[in-house]
Amino acid sequence: MHKMKIPFLRNVTIPLPARAFLVFLTFLHTVNLYIDRAAISAGRDSIVHDLGLTDIQFGWVMAMFTLGYALFQAPTGAWADKKGPRSVLTFIIIFWSICTKLTAATWNYTSLLVIRFIFGAGEAGAFPALSKVVYNWFPLNERGIVQGINFSGSRIGAAFTLPLVALMISHIGWRLSFVVIGAIGVLYAIFWYLVFRDTPEETSWVSEEEANYIVETRQQPTVGILPPFSFPKLVKSGNMWLAMGQYIASNFTFYFTLTWMLPYITDRFQVDIVQAGFYSMFPLLAGAVGNWFSGWLVDIIFKKKQSLKISRRVPAMIGFFLAAIGMVMVTVVESPVVAVIFMSVAIFGADMTLSPSWSFCIDIAKERAGVISGTMNMAGNLGAFVTIITYPYLFAATGSHIPFFYTCAALSVTAIVMWLFMNPDKVLFNNA
């Protein structure tokens, strides 16, 4: 194990392999990503009061972020494939951090809708660009756990954001809270740009031994520099449609926790916002554990079976089964504690599907990992957009939370069937 030197801190050394340090950096990236994203949910009561919004209008505010985020996934993924994740991620982090600050300057419903849409569009390339990082930097048999750790950061960021931002808002107000959160993002972007390089071959703080190991054990590139992208081939790919369909199901469940869970707990169980924020932490933390467990399971199965199909399918199918059971059980309990337990089971399961899903995209895309994972994420976030809008409208129409939760469960069962037909061995683009 060697000690690596951080480029701009000449007297600092860290006794870690370069890959471990990079996972820590990408983990921080996703923590920051979801701190900014989840803050709007924690600020719901104050924002609704100050701007005179209804719950349905606030639903559209959250949904507009997701719509912008979904529509720009594939273009920004292609941008990361072409330009590399270092510069693309730096720009994205700075852009979304500025948008977080601009959220604090909104003065009415329309201005909030516009800023949140731009915010979502600016944040869109984050995870597709991280897929390019994983492709460039990590051996094939480490792909699952790296993806699991990365996505766990987003859950941990959201989990601690909900109670902490709720507490911050109670002391300094929602507008100043958003300014503080945005400033943190800008600082991280600078740090990322100074430290990260697109490949281990061009990174000074990676030993020659480790760089050679990464090059030999990562997924091998196709013939040529970058395989040609074919939109007609993408549209005709059954693999791609199945990947998008199952990811819609996953996001439909998860995004409830990120947007409506805190208001749901507040309204259904009549608790205050700080207590509801505390309750809301646990499903998100369960999601983080689900990401770690699934990432570990993906890699263990691959090492033992040497099968991409089994190592991707089994964790995903187990996850969707747990998601369906958890969402159904939430409807039959009366205690907020028990409801949170079953919600945690559901989110643990839903997040078990992420590592195999994103690993699957890299498997079939290789050097085109950015645009293909972005396409899947676009579909998933269109599902999230529907989630955010469906929940308040269904409740207004039926007076019950139950139809929404049963819809989540039905989609999870459908996704289990989809995974039976997904083939990670079938590379989508190839120069050969």
* pLDDT tens digits along 243-256: 999 999 999 898 88
Cα–Cα distance, 407 to 344 (Å, whole number): 18
Cα radius of gyration (the chain):
21
- Alpha carbon separation from 211 to 127, 135, 136, 364 (Å, rounded): 24, 14, 11, 24
* Residue 408 structure tokens: 């989540």
Does residue 271 register a pLDDT over 60?
A: yes
Highest mean pLDDT among 3-17, 98-112, 362-376: 98-112
- Alpha carbon separation from 255 to 191, 258, 411 (Å, rounded): 29, 5, 14
The CATH superfamily holding the domain 15-419 is: MFS general substrate transporter like domains (1.20.1250.20)
Cα–Cα distance, 345 to 329 (Å, whole number): 10
* Residue 20 structure tokens: 């471990």
* Residue 251 structure tokens: 């996001």
Let me know: does 138 contact 214? Beta carbons within 8 Å: yes
Does residue 309 register a pLDDT over 60?
A: yes
- Alpha carbon separation from 393 to 113, 144, 398 (Å, rounded): 18, 37, 9
pLDDT at 386: 83
b (16+ CB within 10 A) / e for 219-248 = beebeeeebebeeeebeebebbbbbbbbbb
Question: Residue 48's CB: how many other CB atoms inside 10 A?
Answer: 16
Let me know: does 294 contact 356? Beta carbons within 8 Å: yes
How far is CA 418 from its chain centroid?
Answer: 21
Place of tokens 């909104």: 106
Does residue 3 register a pLDDT over 60?
A: no
What would the mean pLDDT of 322-329 be, rounded to a whole number? 96
Cα–Cα distance, 215 to 379 (Å, whole number): 32
Q: How many residues can be counted in the chain?
A: 432
Place of tokens 């187990």: 318
Does residue 8 register a pLDDT over 70?
A: no
- Residue 163: is it exposed, middle or buried by C-beta count within 10 angstroms (0-12/13-18/19+)? buried
b (16+ CB within 10 A) / e for 317-332 = bbbbbbbbbbbbbbbe
Nearest to 389 by CA among 55, 90, 4: 55
Question: Residue 46's CB: how many other CB atoms inside 10 A?
Answer: 17
Backbone angles phi, psi at 366, to 5 degrees: 55, -115
Does residue 135 register a pLDDT over 80?
A: yes
At residue 59 the predicted structure's pLDDT band, cuts being 50, 70 and 90, is confident
* Residue 402 structure tokens: 């139950």
Let me know: does 70 contact 378? Beta carbons within 8 Å: yes
Cα–Cα distance, 37 to 257 (Å, whole number): 12
What would the mean pLDDT of 310-322 be, rounded to a whole number? 96
Does residue 414 register a pLDDT over 90?
A: yes
Does residue 231 register a pLDDT over 90?
A: no
Q: Please give the DSSP secondary-structure letter assigned to residue 1.
A: -
Does residue 4 register a pLDDT over 70?
A: no
- Residue 67: is it exposed, middle or buried by C-beta count within 10 angstroms (0-12/13-18/19+)? buried
| pLDDT single digits (tens) 82-97 | 888 999 999 999 998 8
| pLDDT single digits (tens) 165-179 | 878 888 898 999 999
Residue 344, classed as helix, strand or coil, is: helix
pLDDT at 228: 66
What would the mean pLDDT of 232-249 be, rounded to a whole number? 90
Does residue 145 register a pLDDT over 90?
A: no
pLDDT at 431: 47
How much is the mean pLDDT over the chain? 85
